Structure 1
Amino acid sequence: MTDAPIPFGKPMLDRPVFDAVNEVLESGILVHGQVTPAFEEAFAARIGAKHAVAVSSCTAGLHLVLFVNGVGPGDRVAVPAMTHVATAHVVELQGAEPVFVDVDPATGNMDADLLAAVDGPLKAVMPVHYLGLPCAMDAINEAAAAKGAFVLEDCALAVDAVYGTKKAGTLGLAGAFSFYPVKHMTSIEGGMVTTDDEELATQLRKRRAFGYNRMLGERARPGIYDVDALGFNYRMSEVEAAVGLKQLDQLDGFMAARAKNAETLHAALSEIDGVTAFPLEHGPARSSFYCLNAVLPRDGSVDRDKVVDGLKARGIGSSIHYPGPVPLFTYYSEKYGYRRGDFPVAEWLADQTISLPVGPHLGEEGAGRIADAFRAAYDDAR
């Protein structure tokens, strides 16, 4: 019997999730109900933040924080060169300029020394916890403070990641999380913003719903409200929140499986000549184990496409994080004039890494299968 393929990611959905969704559907209250606040409260407690605000996506959360803090034309916001394009897009959408910072070759995270060396003022700094390993937040916060900038963590891959005694999402003014289907936990789509700033949380809740001065349950008469500020339609539905709540109940098990799989795979890759893997711990940072990046020889002597094809032929899904530095994508390179060679570390990671799955969908033997398949694919490609 042939082993079933292992996809890069897979949402872990079971009967309690389906029952929770049905309960919401049968209630007839699909937005503005009590499930979303319950999810917010539970997530804030999990992360260790005073407030959590549910939104329609991590991108929406990042955008809202910039919007509420008045980031706009003439402002500059530091973002890492190696990230999902959403991190930079939200800066552009506010009419501000993203200032791209190359990354640390040991971790793929924003290089704090390069951030400190950025010329000119910054309105905000947006560190991204690359693949779930927290950035060097002490140094980043210090550099941001020196420039008068607030810090907004992109925690899209960093649920439960730890830095010292605190979790990602509590290391700056705010953090934004993603619940996309193949993340650590899902709400189908959706995201969450965490913060200890009560006024920021109040404004985020208001601006995610058009700028209403009264939420649905606060209106003395149905349909009567005022709008005293600009806002968006960035709300999370009750269905999504119900899925998120049940996933949060299961997160301990999901994370334990991820840690075990990542450690098994990391040990196996370390035995392959010429291959390295990004660390699961680095200084005070401990990863959330989103995936594991295998790093091929920097000289390009091994064809990555052949390795990826070899994995696919053996039933192993993989991914690339990310296909290129954001400033070299056509939109940004044409607008700002960036060229190949401007971000050497990010360019190297884009060219010579392969992201391997470590999620709970691997089962008991999955990590070993992936290690064997990678070793064979790598040997074939040499």
Structure 2
Amino acid sequence: MSYADSLLGNKSLKVNFRSLVSESVHEGCDVVLPRESVRSVHDKMANTLVGYFLGDRVAYPVVDYYVRNNWKKYGIQKSMMNAKGFFFFKFADEAGMMKVMQDGPWIIRSQPMFLDIWSPSAKLEKKEVKKVQIWVKIHDVPIAAYTEDGLSMIATTIGVPKALDSYTTSMCMDMWGRSSYARALIEVSADKSLREEITMAIPDMEGDGFSKETMSVEYEWYPLRCAHCSVFGHSDDTCPFQAVRQGNARNMDMGGKQHNQGRRPGKHPVTDEEGYTGVHSKKVARQTGFPVSKPKPKFEYRPVVGKKKEEPANRASASSSRSNNPFDVLNELPTNDEEGVENLESAKQDEMPTSAKNDEDDVEVVDDFSEMHGYDMDGFLRQGTIKFDTKKGASTPSSSVTHG
């Protein structure tokens, strides 16, 4: 059994998916839905609201989390979204659905969501509106203006006041709390531009003087506004009616002459008075990707070792005249008995050249020469050999050793 067959076997709901042709024909349409089919959909989608945002689309998980927490008391059952950014909300009854419509506006991520009752014949399109409700922050409000009359007069210069948030209400009632800005829900109209600054005059308690204060206005959501159409939803640059009017004016300026649409204006070659033709510079392609900085060379710091001082001439001569003892046998540990002395002496005689063995006079001459000039020949010959704690044993030829 294949994986697809196992899934089909576990599926309890089945749809009669088949070839079907419309019974009636309508001009310019390929398919005409049966009235019974539309009625069945209407019954399933009863008590459903459809909503959309004018600005950037808010993510569906954010909207779904918001409505499940805030519309739970209204009987919200489920929600969904299509590819064009329209949201659908199903309610348990009509009373809960109408209550949501009355308790609005509903602002999610600082953007108002426009709601309407869904019907099968309604076309899904984002309508451009003339009035929207926006949360507004009014900064640098004087303490003297935190009253019902003061905040209402300030908000009226922007639009129609609707509500205050809890912190501003507490400041207005107790005159203590958040005084950095006042936050209010105001309905603004597309007929006039949005205010950015408000100037207020505060009268002095004594006399006829006034103090002037300037307040800045911050909109938590700034909708696109077209001054030509006086609607929210698109800007002056993307206005379809203004683009058509500019195109007609451009054609009138051409005087009815045929314009070459393939050539961009201002890009044709220009010839100066001397007959030279100017060449337009080519656009340089922009480099894509992330800029990568080259690694800096690494330096390794090492301590500077000073040069060795030159040894004195006497020491150099002394080291040059120094030689190792050629008798390796002498490196062995000596013994205290006479047999060890005789063995070392015999080994020394074997290692010596033949001329040194036969000529005993030369040895005596050297000994006499050392005695004559005061040189310690025994100490000189012991240089480079193992030092012994005891003087017993034979290490070098000496007058104390009898030659056999």
TM-score (norm: length of structure 2): 0.17
Q: As a proportion of its length, which structure holds more helix? A: 1
More RCO (CA 8 Å, sep 6+): 1
Q: Rg larger in 1 or in 2? A: 2
- Scaled by the length of structure 1, the TM-score of the pair is 0.18
